[in-house]
Structure 1
Amino acid sequence: MKYMLYAGLAAVASLSTHSIAAEPLAAIVATKADKTLLTDIEYTGKQLVAVGKHGTIITSSNAKNWQQASVPTQVLLTAVTFSGSELGWACGHDATIIHTNDGGANWQLQQVDTQLDKPCLDILFTSELHGFAVGAYGMFYETSDGGKYWQKRFLDSLLFADDRDYLNDLKRSDPQGYEAETASILPHFNRIVATKDKLMLVGEMGLLAHSTDNGKTWQRDEEIYQGSFFAYANDEQGQEIVAGLRGNIFSRQLGEQWQPISNNKTATINSIIASGNNQWLLLANSGVIFHYKNNQLTIEQLADGKAVLDAVIFENKLVMASENGIKVKGMAP
């Protein structure tokens, strides 16, 4: 999800094993923490929580006054998720996953491994105990105990047939080489999303995959595009939208085939949110916000031209996590 922007802003690091290599430094307390790079934002039902650069996490109950949380790391945090209003998790570089049980005010380290050269790019919990963390080169971790232990998985079902045959041969002939190959043979997993009847995984090289058994098994969908996808969303009526590199957008209705949406704006799309009245907002680089409704796409561009990484609707306002911190704008009636 947002991998290209992150790679340009910081050295790419990792998601992890359960071991902790060294004691991380606590996030630096900043006077303008709401003005730094922020990569993701959630509304917990009680307050807004945004994460970003140097381990910054900020919270607010009104989208005006922001408080910096106590965070045990200074790495770039890339994603945040909540199960209810109190239990939350965030992930980022250097194999870092952190957890809060007080709505985001205080965070504890669950895992870190600075030896892996891969970032975690998204995190999702489907219950208070069951969660997933995904990232670069097929990184996939799962927990069934709220993150006390994260199990590494290799999703070989998402390999192309030739790659699967190659790995099976290598596993028999060169176990050490097999381990090395499995570390990089899969594409980046940029986003994992739960719908009412499945989990969706999207990523690099046009990856679309789904699971109908809560992540136990995964099936690769038919390829519709060879570039990277960073965002996916769906609604209660079954409409789905997937988007990513250079403004490429596809949609489909329940039971139909994916169709490309005509778009002459090439800003890479980072996130998709529903904004009511069957309208979607697609948040992109260069300050671009795409409005999609009834198969029509209109384009808005923020004056500062800074990337918008994610947003939430709060009290009829769009509260955005951006390359230049929190931005708030009113929603059209």
Structure 2
Amino acid sequence: MHHLTESTRVNVMKILLLGALCITTAAFAAPPASRFVDPLDKQVPMYSHASIAPMLAVTRASNDIVAAGKHGIILTSRDGGTSWKQSKVALEADLVALDFPTPTRGWAVGHDGVVLTSEDAGKTWTKRFDGRSVAKLMHDYYQREMAANPDNLALRDALQQAEALLQDGPDKPFLDVWFKNEKQGFVIGAFNMILATEDGGVTWVPWLERTDNPQLFHLTSIRGDHENVFLVGEQGLMLKLDAATKRFVSLQSPYKGSYSGVAVQGKNVAVFGLRGRAFLSTDGGSAWKPLSTGTSTLLTAGTFLPGSALSLVGEDGTVLVSTDLGDTFKKYECGMGCYSVMPGSGQSLIVAGSRGVRVLPLK
């Protein structure tokens, strides 16, 4: 894996994935200690001012809103985002993505190969994986597969990647999590890291050899519906799940720059990323049209709203909303760097960003 970390790849990684994550303030820094404790082994302290911590993901669980961000801080709100309560979290790694396939069971992923799960709508979280156990899982899995299929070149390459992960240690982030339903889901991350589950997270299977990604580009976002599942990443990587072969196959990308996200609503698919670039397909990914976003900022997140409206947000605080499938956008400002967005109640958005979570009325 070391041969992949040349300066250009590192710079792209910083721009796309760490620009939003490097917001560090003294208020949330770990206190001095006489003995170092790995953040992967340390429970998140309870902060009196957690509601203003940088939040990098936001979603809904049951009747609550759940947000996650820096230093493993997770917040829940029962009143639509007016007030927040800090959750109990098993470790301090930065968390970048959330998904709740059921009203109470949720998943969070982040730096250092962290995968967390909650059974109570986000109030408490336990560790399912970190980079150490993920690397071992992948290595053991591909050793068994190679023993049964010694001439399979794809498995050989996957085993080499797993060996590199094991050697490097827990420094590779998971960058997104998405569940199709209570049982079927994926976690994805840097250098083509991908795991799939068919039993609600009881067991996970590496899919390193099941992606058309020979250069091991970073996988940044995965979204889908009951028919289509899309995965995007750096340098124009765009993949679609072939359910019959259980493989992510390459699509012709309209852009060679890096994508930070994908949003899916039926056959409507939006992809977006660097320099304000965004594209829309209305036929499940066969044809794409460029969207005139009117901004050059990094578009960090996006979501479809009821009625096929589309919202995109940027790291400079830009919030864009289109009600005509991207032909035109109305611009709002959320007053902070924006890193995640979801529909709010009525005519509003809920935006997670550099100073917590805000409810943005759409007027």
Match of 2:350 among 311, 319, 324: 319
Residue 168 of structure 1 is matched in structure 2 by none
Task: Report deviation, 1:303.
Answer: 6.2
Q: 1:218, 1:150 → 2: CA distance?
A: 17
Residue 151 of structure 2 is matched in structure 1 by none
Residue 27 of structure 2 is matched in structure 1 by none
Which amino acid is 2:180 matched to? Answer: T
After TM superposition, the structure 1 = structure 2 runs for residues 65-76 of structure 1, keeping only pairs within 5 Å, are 65-76=83-94
Which amino acid is 1:279 matched to? Answer: A
Q: 2:337, 2:202 → 1: CA distance?
A: 34
2:128 aligned counterpart, secondary structure: strand
How many residue pairs end up in the alignment?
296
Residue 171 of structure 2 is matched in structure 1 by 117
Alpha-carbon displacement from aligned partner over 1:189-242 (angstroms, at most 9, x marks no partner): 001112231211011010110013188211100121111111212333x22211
Residue 296 of structure 1 is matched in structure 2 by 327
Q: 2:95, 2:244 → 1: CA distance?
A: 25
Q: Which has the higher contact order (CA 8 A, sep 6+)?
A: 1
After TM superposition, the structure 1 = structure 2 runs for residues 160-199 of structure 1, keeping only pairs within 5 Å, are 185-199=215-229
Residue 283 of structure 1 is matched in structure 2 by 313
Task: Report deviation, 1:22.
Answer: 8.9
Residue 79 of structure 1 is matched in structure 2 by 97
From the superposition, tell whether residues 8 and 66 of structure 1 become closer, same or farther in structure 2 (CA, over 3 Å): closer
Alpha-carbon displacement from aligned partner over 1:24-61 (angstroms, at most 9, x marks no partner): 10111111212111011111232101100111011011
From the superposition, tell whether residues 214 and 313 of structure 1 become closer, same or farther in structure 2 (CA, over 3 Å): farther
* TM norm structure 2: 0.76
Unaligned runs of 5+ in 2: 1-12, 25-37, 133-168
Bigger drift between 113-122 and 86-95 goes to 113-122
Q: 1:233, 1:313 → 2: CA distance?
A: 13
User: Does the 8 Å contact 1:244/1:270 carry over to 2?
Assistant: yes
Unaligned runs of 5+ in 1: 11-20, 164-184
Question: Cα RMSD over matched residues?
Answer: 2.3
Task: Report deviation, 1:301.
Answer: 4.3
Match of 2:71 among 54, 57, 76: 54
User: Does the 8 Å contact 2:111/2:174 carry over to 1?
Assistant: yes
The answer on 1:249 being equivalent to 2:278 is yes
User: Does the 8 Å contact 2:76/2:84 carry over to 1?
Assistant: yes
Task: Report deviation, 1:293.
Answer: 2.8
Q: 1:116, 1:212 → 2: CA distance?
A: 30
Task: Report deviation, 1:117.
Answer: 2.5
The answer on 1:88 being equivalent to 2:67 is no
Q: 1:254, 1:235 → 2: CA distance?
A: 11
* TM norm structure 1: 0.82
2:320 aligned counterpart, secondary structure: strand
2:227 aligned counterpart, secondary structure: coil
User: Does the 8 Å contact 1:290/1:297 carry over to 2?
Assistant: no
Identity %: 25
Task: Report deviation, 1:267.
Answer: 1.0
Alpha-carbon displacement from aligned partner over 1:288-333 (angstroms, at most 9, x marks no partner): 01222324333524263x221112222223221111111112233x
Alpha-carbon displacement from aligned partner over 1:119-148 (angstroms, at most 9, x marks no partner): 110011223232211011111112234334
Which amino acid is 2:306 matched to? Answer: G
The answer on 1:107 being equivalent to 2:140 is no
